[in-house]
Structure 1
């Protein structure tokens, strides 16, 4: 059992292998998945259905090349909110920011920053505009720190923590 009271799903070696394979290539057919895992297609199908029902696998996601969408400049922006009505500010900020087009990911953190926001924009002017208009301009925001991403590698897509 985990410290937050949520019990980890009981996964055997076959389940773990299926999860690993799907996290690397979510477009695998059931036949390909079964062959790679060394099980019968019917076993792979039943096991995947169970993993979905138990919430271990929460969805299959597309990997998008943002450069092809004109959003090749990526940045991580650390945001610190002003002290005060924190719970309300946190909720409002998160809801507003996650709806903005350039936003790829939003992380709510413990530490120096309250949020880390991953965005993709066309160029440095668009990055500046996003930070000034959508972040620094908010009354709840105390400060921002922007880091440009030169390159990154993603092992898998994580589900929401909520």
Structure 2
């Protein structure tokens, strides 16, 4: 963060709000020339501050309106089990996020499915089929209160 000046931070904030801004629009918002703005965006991308751009899609319209969080406990832990679990989790399209955590369980998974019937199939066909899974605890989301990809800095 020490490499970022106020203009860099402003560029990052504006792009988080709207990644579709044209360079000219972005330049106007951050009070720089279009050339200087484009150079800064290139540098921020090259240096790994900007990882990419994506469209935000409607889960409801795409038949993925239900969110579930699943705690996963492994029956044994080894580098081989963790690697295989990671490989399969990355390849499972319903899994949106998967985090190895410290605490009372090994992984926390966020998945999006159509409904409870789809979740039951996902649980048996995908989660319980993952290597080394001993136990799962599921939390179905009743209301999504906040969902953001913006990072505060």
Q: Same fold (TM over 0.5)?
A: yes
Residue 51 of structure 2 aligns to a residue whose secondary structure is coil
Give the C-alpha shift of residue 156 in structure 1. 2.0
Aligned to 2:27: 34
**Matched-pair contact (CA < 8 Å) for 2:85–2:131:** no
**1:34-59 Cα distance to aligned partner (Å, 9 max, x none):** 11112221111010000011111111
Aligned to 1:53: 46
d(CA) in 2 for partners of 1:81 and 1:54?
Answer: 37
**Matched-pair contact (CA < 8 Å) for 1:24–1:155:** no
User: How many residue pairs were aligned?
Assistant: 150
- Structure 1 unaligned blocks of 5 or more: 1-7
Residue 119 of structure 1 aligns to a residue whose secondary structure is strand
1:16 to 6, 9, 23: 9
Runs of 4+ in 1 over 6 A off after TM superposition: none
- Structure 2 unaligned blocks of 5 or more: none
Q: For the aligned residues, what is the CA RMSD?
A: 1.8
Give the C-alpha shift of residue 93 in structure 1. 0.6
Pair 1:117-2:104 in alignment: no
d(CA) in 2 for partners of 1:125 and 1:89?
Answer: 29
Residue 55 of structure 1 aligns to a residue whose secondary structure is coil
- Per the normalisation by structure 1, the TM-score is 0.84
Give the C-alpha shift of residue 152 in structure 1. 4.1
- Per the normalisation by structure 2, the TM-score is 0.88
